[in-house]
Chain A
Amino acid sequence: MAKRRVIGPTAWVLGGAGLFIGAVAAWLVSQGNPGNMGLCIACFLRDITGFFVGGVTNQGAVAYIRPEIIGIILGAMGAALLTREFRPRGGSQPLVRFVLGFIFMAGALIFLGCTVRAWLRLGGGDLTALWGVLGIVAGVLVGIVFLKKGFNLGRAKAVAKPLGWILPTFAVVLLVLVVVSTLGATPEFATQTKAGAFATGDKPPAVFLKHDGEPDQVLKPEGATLAEDGSIVAEDGTVVASAESVAKAAPQPGGKRALLWVSLAAGLAIGVVAQRSRFCSIGGIRDAILVRRYDLLFGVVGLLIGSTVVNLLFGQYNLGFTNQPIAHNDALGSFAAMTIATFAAMMLGGCPFRQVIMGAEGDADSTTAVAGMLVGAGFMHWASLASSGKGLAPNAWPAMAVMAVVLVAIALYGSRKSA
């Protein structure tokens, strides 16, 4: 083959897209989103699951329809329609893709962030994210082994038009629900973390709101009140949270959010930019190693630079391994969880962000993968397998072992078919 340039003009498009997305994500943190979580596809889909089934899955702290997701879907859909790239397609092993989406989410909730947030955590100075980024590289390498063996889930074909509209329709439904919930009319079945809520580390936690930095109104347990010594006391007089525990209470992630319209507008812009640029949080490393093409890698480099700069500008940058928001420093656990998540994403053909974008372009298979992620999130919280800031859940390692076996089985199955 004649000489080929390995960095083309699209590198600048992708670099610019990454810069923009990283900068907006870091800015969203200044607007109220959780630390280093201006944008996280896994976390935000998980929060949406919490809204619907949080009462059952024990997701009281992480239940909110994240408007960023709605914006991303509608923005990407609009961009795809305008450029005639909206095409209802599907039929490439949807059930396998559902399982891959499920496992992706499981890995992300053990690491505490998707492949996008891993870079954003690093952009906030969170060095514990390095273990996750190493896991991304490892997951890409494992995926490449099978791609080289001919791994392929089969071709997607044109499908009945309505199937292409599932994810955009879901986004509209979510938009209606989040608007009515924000106006105070949360549907009865739904769970929504109160904006600005704090929770103590007790079991079960006491949840309260603050006013001017001081504990003010107790939300949970019901009927409990704030005692004069600063503790929270139940109706029957028992202390449910000591004054010390109240003082150490942390904000519930689901209650940390930018204004609805701010999140929505940011999501719309990100959706358009991501659809046009084809930004992917794992594809850059994959293409660099597999086909020696570096353009896509500029996307994550841009993301890292954009988020770092804006975090520094807003005084949100905190370099180190300790006191990082919604993160733990279990190096091996983070590495393994991200290897698993990325391996799953490699077999899906792109990171969860790309799955959402492609679902918005009419790809029913990607929509199925997103459905797997939503269900996986509910399962992980219901089964107490998701990590917390303290570290991995007790059964996280056995769960990862099972997921690794399933992934290898899928990889072998996909490689065998085309062999």
Chain B
Amino acid sequence: MKELDVRGLSCPMPLMHTKKALEDDPAEIMVHADSGTAKANVVAFLQDAGYMVTVDESGEEYTIKGSR
């Protein structure tokens, strides 16, 4: 499983990191985000790449999990 931390990053860095992480085609990926925009962008990006996505919200953080 690939794990990424995009907390506190301005646009478009969350997407850049996610795109890079998908280059080796991981079966599972987990992304930690803390802003609504980063969460929405990463979720949409993973779905566009064919992942099944779930989001856990705990406190100030979103944990986005993608698998395929």
Contact = CB atoms under 8 A, between A and B. Distances in A.
Interface stretch (A28-36, A83-91, A199-207): A83-91
Contacts of A145: none
A411 to B, nearest CB: 14
A356 B38 CA distance: 17
B5 to A, nearest CB: 9
Contact of A155 (B9, B19, B44, B60): B9
A87 B7 CA distance: 12
B7 A155 contact: yes
Nearest to B45: A293
A47 interface: no
Q: How large is the interface on B (under 10, 10 to 19, 20 to 34, 35 or more residues)?
A: 20 to 34
Given A155-B7, A293-B15, A358-B37, 10 more contacts: A1-B23, A1-B24, A5-B48, A8-B44, A89-B34, A280-B11, A291-B12, A291-B45, A293-B45, A349-B10
Contacts, number: 86
Interface string B14-49: 011001001111000000001111001100110111
A350 B9 CA distance: 12
Contacts of A92: 8, 10
A283 B12 CA distance: 8
Contacts of B45: 4, 291, 293
Interface of A: 1-6, 8-10, 80, 83-85, 87, 89, 92, 147, 152-158, 278, 280, 283, 286-287, 290-291, 293, 295, 348-350, 354, 358, 361, 363
Nearest to B68: A2
B36 A361 contact: yes
Interface of B: 7-13, 15-16, 19, 22-25, 34-37, 40-41, 44-45, 47-50, 57, 60
Nearest to A365: B10
B12 A349 contact: yes
A4 B48 contact: yes
A348 B10 contact: yes
Residue of A2, A4, A286, A290 with most chain B CB atoms under a 10 A cut-off? A4
A286 B36 contact: no
Nearest to B18: A291
A51 B2 CA distance: 52
B34 A87 contact: yes
B35 A4 contact: no
A5 B40 CA distance: 16
Nearest to A295: B44
Contact of B35 (A87, A152, A153): A87
A87 B60 contact: yes
A154 B10 CA distance: 9
A290 B12 contact: yes
Contacts of B11: 280, 283, 349-350, 354
